[in-house]
Amino acid sequence: MSTLQYRALFYDPSVDPKLGCDRPCIYVFWHEYILIPLYLRGNCNLAMLLSRHRDADILTRVAFHMGFDCVRGSTNRGAAAALLEMARLGQRMHLTITPDGPRGPRRKMAVGAVYLASRLGLPIVPLGLGADRPWRVKSWDRHAIPRPFSQVRGIMGPPITIAPDLDRDQLELSRQRVEQFLTDLTIEAEDWAASGARRPGEVSIRPESRSAQFSGGLALASEVIPIHARPPYTLVVPKDRLIA
């Protein structure tokens, strides 16, 4: 992860969690790119919602190591308790949700983030991410593993205000709106990474977590099973799990 070239654009730089925003936000990005925020924004007062599935056990340990608080919950296991815990943490921390996780469908947003935003009065900040020709795992989300020395790009959208106490139909309309915006930002970030072009206002991004700075991101390799880091240099990914 440390060999990658990270650059970003911000619609509103004040919502970057490293700056200590005036109030908590709910950050959403697609599950396939979860390695990138984990590496870049540890120790930024963020709580991340992760699955209770055993595949997420390693990811949870890595997230704690990188400086995230973690809440475990899945659609069929502990969803209500996880939402209650996220609501409690949202009083004092930023929240991070991959809204198509834990099992998809890929890039189809569940309503949880919008529900929390409506109940807590917190803005949703969509984060589009992309990498240049990443390796893709044969998983439900086609998980992206950036190639060494490649380009990674992020576009953080403006905070989206969700009206309070929405009913089910209103939540669905808001969900569709956020999903489309997040998809558009992701496609834009992917195209930007593939082109390698410079864009006005772009900034270089570095990891905030000391663990990320010192490890070079090797620990993050273990999030995708079965990926194994052979320290200090080699990342081995079985070819039968990849789509080139």
Burial class (CB in 10 A: 0-12, 13-18, 19+), 44: buried
Cβ-Cβ contacts under 8 Å for 233 (sequence gap 6 or more): none
Q: How many CB atoms lie within 10 A of CB 202?
A: 16
Domain count along the chain = 1
CA distance 162 to 195: 34
The pLDDT of residue 210 is 58
Question: Residue 232 above 50 pLDDT?
Answer: no
Question: Residue 87 above 90 pLDDT?
Answer: yes
The pLDDT of residue 209 is 66
The pLDDT of residue 193 is 98
Percentage of the chain exceeding pLDDT 70: 83
186 or 224: which carries more pLDDT confidence? 186
CA distance 144 to 122: 29
Residues 126, 178 contacting (CB under 8 angstroms): yes
Q: By residue range, what is the domain housing residue 148?
A: 5-243
Angle CA 232–238–240, to nearest 5: 165
CA distance 46 to 102: 19
Question: Residue 213 above 90 pLDDT?
Answer: no
User: Residue 5: which region, alpha, beta or left (left: phi > 0; alpha: psi -120 to 50)?
Assistant: beta
Nearest to 64 by CA among 223, 235, 216: 223
